[in-house]
Structure 1
């Protein structure tokens, strides 16, 4: 139990490639804990943005520096160190590295609070983002591929639902506990210090847990052979994975729009006539619907609704209600923006899993690009904040994220036309549904048969093959 393999060979076939639904339950449950962590951090960030504007006397565009720092790490890490760690050392080490970096970032909030330094908070948030982006590079990929391929969207949407619980709880704690009856700036910032110290302690406790826990590893070779078992064709070179590239673009636009709406929701609601406390409650309502609809979407996919239909419908409704929010006023506009939050629910997970379909041996590389696309949260919120600062009107500023919902809709159009046969084929496959998986190495005609047992981390039994 105490000895774990540190490196992996991505050219090796492991029994992780044939893990069944039953065998995947515990490791997927363990990884889902991580989704709650960054959901909580993300939800807390939304509320902190508004409070920093009041307590440090900064503009909305300056406050977006927190989001830029957090999501800027998503652009750098997955494409460089996080992606390399995943391919070289596997999921276990990726999770442990992300947890350690996140712990350091949370601890850095203490000196930042002592100095009441907004720049220090931005730097701390960047380190937290580096840790979370490393976690997400591993976790999103893991849930997408650990288990039968036909259930990929369901697994990730359920985990995203748990993430939504964190996003729902964080604003409530921030408004009801951390900043409750706080009129002194120093006391409010000190509360933030204690929050992140508690998070750091909890995250640090997860590191040995992920070291000890059985964790199957799925290599590039596994995914290459699995793809041949599903489609019986070669996936081709990475440069021709157009389904992935459009998915990355859609993820960038959607995530940036989502973060912009969440960041400035409280300001939007206050402009519509609500108090700060009521605005925070309304954000919690929106986050609650956001979470609820993720579970509903998982149920819809389970009963047979195609994920590509859900994605096209939800993104279209985000645009429609976004337009309604910007062109109305008062409670009506806030209700429309809450509906935007509601239908954002399943978009991220569905884009991610659909874009990974058919990548074969390119899966981990493609997954790293999709996580890097979350960096849209560093680009679009500052644009929204700049418009709000320039015009003094948050209703007009919401036109920015609304426009990006249209740009994100390019991928569901492609998914429902050009790549629909590829996507539907993966939804109907029976690969890994049973306890036995048989694949063929197309390079030399050697047939490899894997019997799935207890897994033992998915790294003990391997055969080396060549994958084009």
Structure 2
């Protein structure tokens, strides 16, 4: 709710910025909006991952990201052809912008009320520790030893950086092949549509036991690398098609890296989720590097930057497939949160175990107290 509230405040700030016709005000308002969205994602992604049966965490987050992908596809179209269709450089166009953001703020306020009234569960570190014991019956150890998490953060940083770099220079790439900017924008919208569709497809595949999340992540990242290399070394329509396929297979990578990175963390889950969200900052690092190559050479050569991002991100799926298969598959196969009897049987099993005091006295001769 805090993230939604900050986002709503940012949208409301567009109104006075429009009245004053202040470019600085618009930039400040956009910064507040971005802060609200960052706060929201920091809370929402870990919550979706851990709130529910652990075996379905990838499916939950991928479905949520699929809905977000639909929004990414529809938002530019609605903005260009509906909300801001008649927006120009005059006062009437500016007023149209103000009303749109006011409507967004009102809808956001409604969401805050709904979340306040909804019985949303609070998940503590102790809850996550108990759940890990029910699944794997082991202690994750100190935070500094969570190699799986740290590699996931690195992979997420590189993957998101590569994803944003490809999206930022997609239109430049298409223009180099002879398309005009309008056609290039439509092609980018189509690629975004493939991106959203493949997220729904990946969610369906993850529901099939044979398609383990670690397998799907490995395959999708490998295909991203293959198609971006093909896009760099071809021209015309073929290169555009290859780059569209890169966006298509980027689909499930973010959500799957996120959920696999949280596996087995127990009481460290919240901290791990925060670090994985912070890894999105890779989207700030890679595009400037790609932009420098575009200025020096061209967009085709610049795709070498996201290509290296995919190579570095691929280290993590290799790690989980070689060294962490047991942890990943145990969480995938667990019945915790699905069969209610599991928790009851666990409690009965713990009650049936001898206590520490009973173990200490086991084997000792029984001492009888005789009254004199």
Smaller-chain TM-score bracket: 0.7 to 0.9
SS at match of 1:232: coil
Relative contact order, higher structure (CA 8 A, sep 6+) = 1
Within the candidate set 247, 251, 257, 2:156 is matched to 251
Partner of 1:309: 215
- Report how far residue 353 of structure 1 moved: 0.4
Contact persistence 2:48–2:61 (CA under 8 A): yes
Partner SS for 1:215:
coil
1:295 to 184, 197, 200: 200
- Does residue 285 of structure 1 match 2:222? no
SS at match of 1:247: helix
Residues 131 and 182 of structure 1: is their aligned pair in 2 closer, same or farther, counting only changes over 3 Å?
closer
Question: 1:315 offset after TM fit, Å?
Answer: 0.7
Cα deviation digits, residues 42-98 of structure 1 (max 9, x gap): xxxxxxxxxxxxxxxxxxxxxxxxxxxxxxxxxxxxxxxxxxxxxxxxxxxxxx100
C-alpha deviation, 1:179, in angstroms: 5.2
Residue 124 in structure 1 maps to residue 29 in structure 2: yes
Moved more, 106-115 or 184-193: 184-193
Distance 1:110 1:260 in 2: 32
- Compared with structure 1, are the counterparts of its residues 266 and 121 closer, same or farther at alpha carbon in structure 2 (3 Å cutoff)? farther
Separation in 2, partners of 1:144, 1:342: 23
Q: How far is the alpha carbon of 1:430 from its aligned partner?
A: 0.8
Gap regions ≥5 residues in structure 2? 353-372
2:281 to 349, 352, 375: 375
Offset at residue 423 of structure 1 (A)? 0.4
Find 1:385's aligned residue among 272, 288, 291.
291
Which of 214, 225, 239 is equivalent to 2:119? Answer: 214
Q: 2:264 matched to which residue of 1?
A: 358
| Contact 2:88/2:94, CA 8 A, preserved across alignment | no
The 5-angstrom pairing of residues 421-440 of structure 1 reads: 421-436=326-341, 437-438=343-344
Structure 2 vs 1, CA of residues 332 and 111 (structure 1 numbering), >3 Å: closer, same or farther? farther
- The 1:107/1:365 distance shift into structure 2, 3 A limit, reads same
| CA displacement at 1:329 relative to structure 2 | 2.4
Q: 1:347 aligns with which of 253, 257, 263?
A: 253
SS at match of 1:373: helix
Query: CA separation in 2, counterparts of 1:139 and 1:322?
Result: 31
Contact 1:225 1:440 in 2 (8 A): no
Judge conservation of contact 1:266–1:283 (CA < 8 Å) in 2: yes
1:273 matched residue in structure 2: 178
In 2, are the aligned partners of 1:101 and 1:131 still within 8 Å (CA)? yes
- Residue pair 1:153, 1:349 contacting (<8 A) in 2 also: yes
After superposition, residues 123-272 of structure 1 pair within 5 angstroms as: 123-178=28-83, 180=85, 184=89, 192-272=97-177
Distance in 2, Cα, partners of 1:283 & 1:188: 26
Q: Taking structure 1 as reference, are residues 185 and 247 closer, same or farther at Cα in structure 2, changes over 3 Å only?
A: farther
Per the TM alignment, residue 106 of structure 1 is displaced from its structure 2 partner at its CA by: 2.1
Determine if contact 1:172/1:281 at 8 Å carries over to the other structure.
no
Q: What is the CA-CA distance between 1:276 and the residue it aligns to?
A: 2.4
d(CA) in 1 for partners of 2:311, 2:78: 34
Would you say the 8 A contact 1:226–1:439 is kept in 2? no
Structure whose CA Rg is larger: 2
1:275–1:181 CA distance, 2 compared to 1 (3 A): farther
Secondary structure, aligned partner of 2:13: helix
Instruction: Check the 8 A contact 2:87/2:94 in 1, yes or no.
Output: no
**SS in structure 1 at match of 2:322:** coil
Counterpart in 2 of 1:61?
none
Shift of 1:414: 0.5
Question: How far does the alpha carbon of each residue in 1:358-398 deviate from its partner, in whole angstroms, 9 at most, with x for none?
Answer: 0001001100100111111111122222322343x222222
CA RMSD of aligned residues (A): 2.4
Contact 2:86 2:93 survives alignment (8 Å): no
Count of aligned pairs:
348
